[in-house]
Structure 1
Amino acid sequence: DTIDVFLAYTDNLLRIIFWDDEVDCIEEVDPVTGATLANFDSYKIYPANLFMTTKEATQRAIHEIEDDLHKQVEWFEKEGRMLEAKRLNERVTYDMEMIRELGHCSGIENYSRYFDGRPAGSRPYCLLDFFPEDFLIIIDESHVSVPQIRAMYGGDRARKINLVEYGFRLPAAMDNRPLKFDEFEAMAKQVIYVSATPADYELMRSEGIVVDQVIRP
């Protein structure tokens, strides 16, 4: 038997050939020509979807989501906002049906706090969590990049507030967000700011340790 696996993160396919119930060989194959490009004794296949979790964690998350849905719908109804209550109930109920049947839904990242097991208001996990303690960040064009990092949380929050306010999302969607600037600062312990025109923030953070590059004609 032969199974062709089309991976989400590469142009070539993975061909797994079985002999009875054992894997006989694993090949990387060009899907257009059918040519074998490489052979492997073992191969790691990574998930196509960012959010992977156990069945038990999924059931726990669904239970918590439905509890919060009930509370938010009840709040909308007490405020006389029946349209928002109906909209939110239909949206979240449909999402939960999709998660139960397929394991995912459109916009599943808005429920990330439940799947991660994080408390309300806590920062999300990010790539920086996976770096070693002494990692170094080099921020190029820091006079532009730093204000962008600072503004990310505010821009995301402004958009999410409307989604929550009008019943498109549960309040927990607010916790699927970029880092606040102070959270970023707390994680970025070693930083090199690279800029021809550094702002006051970079100069202050550098504490006078500045290296000039002078390029002469």
Structure 2
Amino acid sequence: MRVVSLVPSLTEAVALTRPEVLVGATDWCTHPAGLDVARVGGTKYPDLDRVLALRPDLVLLNEEENRRVDADALRAAGVPVRVTFPRTVPEALTQLGELIAALGGSDEPDWLRAARRAWAGQPVSATPRSAVVPVWRRPWVVLGRDTFAGDVLRRLGVGNQWADHEDRYPRPSPDELRVRAPELVVLPDEPYRFTAEDGPEAFPGVPAALVSGRHLTWYGPSLAEAPALLATQLAHAG
């Protein structure tokens, strides 16, 4: 089997589980360190000619990270695609298990078993801290409804104030953000690299937590260490 991954989370999962089948990945696939496979451009605008030149038996995509037009083009070229779109931690764990099985893995890898154990011990808080979770600024973009990162935070005792919005990624004005008076602002370091100064500047008087964007949004081997790492980072909000 020859696999090309257009999803950084899944690139890491395949590389740590069935490295011999992974022949291509995007420029944004940074884990594991030292990954040595052909690069096929970005997640949003991959070079499909490069993808097809690798003669893949399967291309991995995500409904949110990748474009439907690219998935359709690959299918039209006769290439099977596998599209994932987990909105919760349990969905991510299930889809990862199904992927490993589809790649011919006879047993679940250690990292997936560790991830299941790590999240099994995370009861959902009945009284979460209300938070706003920006993922971009200029313009501001925040987590809205039905997002994987929102479910990760919910399981760590942080409630997304914008989870009831009709959009998955609302674009509120600075005034709209402030008027909700969140108890916490969660600032991931990707896709936009927020800094400690961004919190006080945009949300004066509100504690800010700088967190790992990879552990907040990636669904792969990083899930095993995400609960402990994110909980520590959230606890250091100030």
Q: Tell me the TM-score normalized by structure 2.
A: 0.19
Q: Tell me the TM-score normalized by structure 1.
A: 0.20
